Amino acid sequence: MLTFVVLSVLMIVGAVGVITLKQPVHAALSLVATLLTLAVTYVTLQAHFLAAIQVIVYAGAIMVLFLFVIMLLNIQGDQPQPHFRWMQIVAYLTALLAAGAIAATAFLSPRELPNAELMSEALAGGGAAAIGEALFNDFVLAFQLVGVLLLTGIIGAVSLVQRKATQTAKDERELSGV
């Protein structure tokens, strides 16, 4: 129960950070915090495979895409932000709270390492094997359609961005009078 409360508080604080912080980079990092806390929540729910996917795909790949765009375009915040001293204090406090929370979850709900048999039982529903079985028995069509979806995303994104490149090249040719 305590674990849940701590994790949800962290998650909510992170989410509030995303929607209130002025600088997009700060908001993105705040989102990373939410996503990672969510991954920990999955672990408490015994959904280990999903927790791994959440970290690798969501907090990893998707967030890198976000940060990449933010850095690439050097996007500024909504308005120039004076550097407040108290903001720093709040930031430190949040970090301390987070560290304390992680320590608390680690020590306050000690769980003995189960033997291998129990462990495999615990992993039954949320482990990779169970998910794989469901995926390739009940959701084959959906699995294929996700492939189509990603293909659509790729063709769409590439054709949007690539066209700009050809257009720019054309403009430059025209400018140089060729």
Partner 1 sequence: MLTLNHFLALGAILFAIGLYGLLSRRNLVAILMSVEILLNAILVNVVAIARFNDQAQGDVFALFIIAIAAAEVAVGLALFLNVFRLNGVATVDPLRRMKE
Partner 2 sequence: MPLVLPDIDWLTLAPLLVLLSTASLAALYALYNRSSKAVALLALLGLAVAAIFNLQLFVASRAGELRSSFGLRYLADQGALAFNFVILLGAALAILISYDYLKRAELEQPEYYPLMLLSASGAMVMAAAGDLIILLLGLEIMSLAVYVLSAWRQQARESAEAGMKYFLLGAFASAFLIYGIALIYGATGFFSYPQIVAGLLAEGFEQIFLATLGGIMILAGLGFKVALVPFHQWAPDVYTGAPTPVTAFMSVVVKTAAFAALLRIFAFIYPELGVLAVQSLVVLIALTLIVGNFTALVQRGIKRMLAYSAVAHAGYLALAVLAAGNLGMRAAIWYLTAYTLMNAGAFAVLTLLSDRNDHGDDLERFAGLARSRPYLAAAMTVFLLSLAGIPLLAGFVGKILVFSAAIEAGYVSLTVIAIITSVVAMVYYLRPVMYMYFREPEYEPLQTNSRSTHIAIGIAVFGTVLLGIFPGWWYSLLDLGQSLLAGL
Query: Which positions touch partner 1 (CB under 8 A)?
Result: 1, 4, 8, 11-12, 15-16, 18-19, 24, 27-28, 31, 34-35, 38, 41-42, 45-47, 49-50, 53-54, 57-58, 61-62, 65-66, 69-70, 73, 75-78, 124-126, 130-131, 133-135, 138-139, 142, 146, 149-150, 152-154, 156-157, 160-161, 164
- Select from 133, 1, 161 the least CA-distant residue to 65: 161
* Pairs from 80-89 (Cβ < 8 Å, separation ≥ 24): 81/22, 81/23
Q: From the list partner 2, partner 1, none, pick the one residue 141 interacts with, judged by a Cβ distance below 5 to 8 Å according to partner type.
A: partner 2
Q: Is 108 in the site for partner 2 (CB under 8 A)?
A: no
Q: From the list partner 2, partner 1, none, pick the one residue 81 interacts with, judged by a Cβ distance below 5 to 8 Å according to partner type.
A: none
Could you tell me the sign of the dihedral formed by the alpha carbons of 142, 66, 61, 27, in that order? negative
With respect to partner 2, which residue has the nearer C-beta, 108 or 155?
155
With respect to partner 2, which residue has the nearer C-beta, 119 or 145?
145
With respect to partner 2, which residue has the nearer C-beta, 109 or 170?
170
The answer to whether the beta carbons of residues 38 and 11 sit under 8 Å apart is: yes
With respect to partner 2, which residue has the nearer C-beta, 148 or 178?
148
Separation CA 39–CA 50 (nearest Å): 8
Token couple for 115:
């033997």
Separation CA 51–CA 130 (nearest Å): 15
Could you tell me the sign of the dihedral formed by the alpha carbons of 71, 75, 80, 84, in that order? negative
Per CB under 8 A, the segment of 50-58, 70-78, 115-123, 135-143 that binds partner 2 is 135-143
- Select from 105, 125, 122 the least CA-distant residue to 4: 105
With respect to partner 1, which residue has the nearer C-beta, 88 or 152?
152
Residues that bind partner 2 (CB under 8 A): 133, 136-142, 145-146, 148-149, 151-153, 155-160, 163-164, 167
